[in-house]
Protein backbone atom coordinates (compact mmCIF):
# COMPACT_ATOMS: atom_id res chain seq x y z
CA UNK A 1 0.00 0.00 0.00
CA UNK A 2 2.57 2.53 -1.15
CA UNK A 3 2.11 5.68 -3.16
CA UNK A 4 4.54 7.44 -5.45
CA UNK A 5 5.63 10.05 -2.93
CA UNK A 6 9.09 10.68 -1.54
CA UNK A 7 7.66 11.88 1.75
CA UNK A 8 6.31 10.35 4.94
CA UNK A 9 3.43 11.30 7.19
CA UNK A 10 3.68 11.55 10.94
CA UNK A 11 0.45 11.21 12.87
CA UNK A 12 -0.42 12.48 16.32
CA UNK A 13 -2.82 9.81 17.54
CA UNK A 14 -5.57 10.85 19.96
CA UNK A 15 -7.22 7.42 20.27
CA UNK A 16 -6.66 6.12 23.81
CA UNK A 17 -6.30 2.48 22.70
CA UNK A 18 -3.58 3.35 20.18
CA UNK A 19 -1.78 5.59 22.66
CA UNK A 20 -1.82 2.74 25.21
CA UNK A 21 -0.42 0.30 22.64
CA UNK A 22 2.38 2.72 21.66
CA UNK A 23 3.19 3.25 25.33
CA UNK A 24 3.15 -0.50 26.03
CA UNK A 25 5.55 -1.42 23.22
CA UNK A 26 7.62 1.75 23.75
CA UNK A 27 8.09 2.23 20.04
CA UNK A 28 6.55 4.16 17.17
CA UNK A 29 4.22 2.18 14.91
CA UNK A 30 4.31 2.19 11.10
CA UNK A 31 0.70 2.08 9.89
CA UNK A 32 -1.36 3.10 6.92
CA UNK A 33 -4.39 5.32 7.04
CA UNK A 34 -7.80 3.73 6.68
CA UNK A 35 -8.32 5.01 3.18
CA UNK A 36 -6.88 4.45 -0.24
CA UNK A 37 -5.10 7.68 -1.24
CA UNK A 38 -7.38 10.11 -3.03
CA UNK A 39 -10.62 8.35 -2.10
CA UNK A 40 -13.18 8.43 0.69
CA UNK A 41 -11.47 11.20 2.64
CA UNK A 42 -14.43 12.19 4.79
CA UNK A 43 -16.35 8.97 5.38
CA UNK A 44 -14.02 6.54 7.14
CA UNK A 45 -14.81 7.58 10.67
CA UNK A 46 -16.34 4.31 11.86
CA UNK A 47 -14.86 0.83 11.90
CA UNK A 48 -17.60 -0.52 9.60
CA UNK A 49 -17.01 2.23 7.01
CA UNK A 50 -13.27 1.51 7.02
CA UNK A 51 -13.81 -2.24 6.62
CA UNK A 52 -16.20 -1.71 3.68
CA UNK A 53 -13.73 0.62 1.97
CA UNK A 54 -10.51 -1.33 2.55
CA UNK A 55 -11.89 -4.84 1.96
CA UNK A 56 -9.13 -7.48 1.89
CA UNK A 57 -6.32 -4.90 1.75
CA UNK A 58 -5.85 -5.00 5.53
CA UNK A 59 -4.01 -7.70 7.48
CA UNK A 60 -5.09 -6.54 10.93
CA UNK A 61 -7.35 -3.94 12.49
CA UNK A 62 -7.04 -2.86 16.10
CA UNK A 63 -10.54 -2.45 17.48
CA UNK A 64 -11.24 0.21 20.07
CA UNK A 65 -14.18 0.75 22.39
CA UNK A 66 -13.28 4.44 22.50
CA UNK A 67 -15.61 6.43 20.26
CA UNK A 68 -13.89 9.11 18.20
CA UNK A 69 -14.91 12.68 18.90
CA UNK A 70 -13.96 13.60 15.34
CA UNK A 71 -16.52 13.81 12.55
CA UNK A 72 -14.23 13.93 9.50
CA UNK A 73 -10.86 12.63 8.38
CA UNK A 74 -7.51 13.87 9.66
CA UNK A 75 -6.17 17.25 8.71
CA UNK A 76 -3.05 16.76 6.62
CA UNK A 77 -0.37 19.40 6.09
CA UNK A 78 2.88 19.21 4.17
CA UNK A 79 5.91 20.81 5.81
CA UNK A 80 8.88 21.71 3.62
CA UNK A 81 11.47 23.92 5.29
CA UNK A 82 9.49 26.87 6.66
CA UNK A 83 6.59 26.37 4.22
CA UNK A 84 3.34 24.70 5.27
CA UNK A 85 0.75 23.61 2.73
CA UNK A 86 -2.73 22.34 3.53
CA UNK A 87 -3.36 19.01 1.76
CA UNK A 88 -6.65 18.06 3.45
CA UNK A 89 -8.68 19.87 6.07
CA UNK A 90 -10.48 17.78 8.67
CA UNK A 91 -11.82 18.60 12.13
CA UNK A 92 -8.66 20.54 13.00
CA UNK A 93 -8.92 23.65 10.85
CA UNK A 94 -5.92 25.11 9.02
CA UNK A 95 -6.58 28.45 10.75
CA UNK A 96 -6.11 26.73 14.14
CA UNK A 97 -2.77 25.31 13.00
CA UNK A 98 -1.61 28.70 11.73
CA UNK A 99 -2.65 30.36 15.00
CA UNK A 100 -0.60 27.85 17.02
CA UNK A 101 2.50 28.09 14.79
CA UNK A 102 2.42 31.87 14.39
CA UNK A 103 4.47 34.05 12.08
CA UNK A 104 7.78 33.29 10.40
CA UNK A 105 6.22 30.49 8.42
CA UNK A 106 5.03 30.64 4.83
CA UNK A 107 1.50 29.25 4.46
CA UNK A 108 0.00 28.02 1.20
Q: Is the sign of the CA dihedral 36, 40, 46, 49 positive or negative?
A: negative
3 CB-contact burial (10 Å; exposed 0-12 / middle 13-18 / buried 19+): exposed
- Residues 68 and 24 placed together within one structural domain of the fold: yes
- DSSP for residue 26: T
Exposed/middle/buried for residue 74 (C-beta within 10 Å: 0-12, 13-18, 19+): buried
Flag whether 3 is in a domain: no
Instruction: With respect to residue 1, please indicate whether it lies within any of the assigned structural domains.
Output: no
User: 42 is in which domain, residue-wise?
Assistant: 11-72
Angle at 71 between CA 15 and CA 107, to 5 degrees: 90
Q: What is the pLDDT of residue 23?
A: 93
> Within a domain: residue 5?
no
- For residues 63 and 80, state if they share a domain: no
3-state SS class at 32: coil
Q: What is the pLDDT of residue 1?
A: 44
For the chain, counts of helices (H) and of strands (E): 3, 3
Tally the domains of the chain: 2
pLDDT of residue 33: 65
Q: What is the pLDDT of residue 44?
A: 59
Query: Are 66 and 17 spatial neighbours (Cβ–Cβ below 8 Å)?
Result: yes
Q: Do 36 and 54 contact (CB within 8 A), yes or no?
A: yes
Q: For the chain (length 108 residues), average pLDDT per consecutive 10?
A: 66 79 89 64 67 77 72 80 85 89 83
Amino acid sequence: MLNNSDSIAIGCVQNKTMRNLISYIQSPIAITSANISGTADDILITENEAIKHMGNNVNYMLRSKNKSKYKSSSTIIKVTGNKIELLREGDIKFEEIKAKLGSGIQYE
